[in-house]
Amino acid sequence: MSKPVVGVIGNSGVVNDRHNVQLVGQRNMRAVAEVAGALPLMFAGTPGITDIDALLGAVDGILLTGARANVHPTCFGVEPDPRHEPYDQERDAMALGLIQACVERGVPLFGICRGLQEMNVAFGGTLHPEIRDIPGRMNHRMPRLENGEIHPDPTVVFADRHEVALTPRGKFASLIGCDRIRVNSLHGQAIEEPGKRVVVEGIAEDGTIEAISIADAPGFALGVQWHAEYDPQTNPINRTLFKAFGEALKARKG
């Protein structure tokens, strides 16, 4: 039996200041291949290139990855601010329609960081562009050196930094087998108001929403704010999530 195929969304980028490209981080691909047991297939996060119906006819599931670009504020009724750039409006347009199609058709969907944020917006929720600016919230952005540069050691950048309390008997708690976990943190934007079908499954110690599911979804439809793709080969929490995604892919393919 052939492996299930996972469509991994691309991000708009520019190489050598001149070449427009689509990019996917290799850790996402490895997590799909090595832990979910599927074949990762990058698709363009651009509506003019990627047709949703054709895409969903060719894959068994979708992975919405993290990205540097914030979801554009106009997607949830807020005016944009240059301080919160960059944006990737083509990915916004691609992802929001794709999320709804996946949920409607029962196609397994796993959102990571920006992917969780897109899932929330797709169902009418809002985002805050800089969660650390809200009184009482911690700085969820990646660690930096004293000179402001990003810390050069990925083990420091992706280290577990805070706890997440999972909803007792919720989807995540049932999968993982406990109600409290520790996760990494590399984001500025986060959920402000959950969407209509968005079920909050995990909350950080400062109140930031860290895990969600979609109510009444006929298939796997989970999102996490942390970067679960970093170490699912060794991290038992992230491994469990990608394994569960893999099982949903196999069931869909079968």
- For the stretch 186-206, pLDDT in tens is 988 999 999 999 999 999 999
pLDDT at 1: 58
Separation CA 173–CA 190 (nearest Å)? 21
pTM of the model: 0.95
Side-chain half-sphere exposure of 230, counting CA atoms within 13 A: 20
Separation CA 222–CA 208 (nearest Å)? 17
Q: Which helix (H) or strand (E) holds 249?
A: helix 236-253
Instruction: Residue count of the chain, please give it.
Output: 254
Whether the bond into 86 is cis, omega within 30 of 0: yes
pLDDT single digits (tens) 45-93: 999 999 999 999 999 999 999 998 999 999 998 888 888 889 999 999 9
Walk me through the domains of the chain, giving residue ranges and CATH numbers.
Answer: 5-129+188-253 (3.40.50.880)
SS (H, E, C) 91-135: HHHHHHHHHHHHHHHCCCEEEECHHHHHHHHHCCCEEECCHHHCC
Q: List active site positions.
A: 113, 227, 229
234 three-state secondary structure: coil
* Residue found by looking up tokens 């054709």 in the block: 54
Give the strand pairing for 11-15 and 109-112: unpaired
Q: Can you list the alpha helix ranges (DSSP code H) found in 127-233?
A: 154-157, 171-176
pLDDT mean across residues, the chain: 94
Q: CB of 229 within 8 A of CB of 237?
A: no
Least confident window among 73-82, 109-118, 119-128, 149-158 = 149-158
Q: What is the DSSP string of 12-70?
A: EEEETTTEEEEE--HHHHHIIIIIS--EEEEE-S-TTT--HHHHHHH-SEEEE---SSB
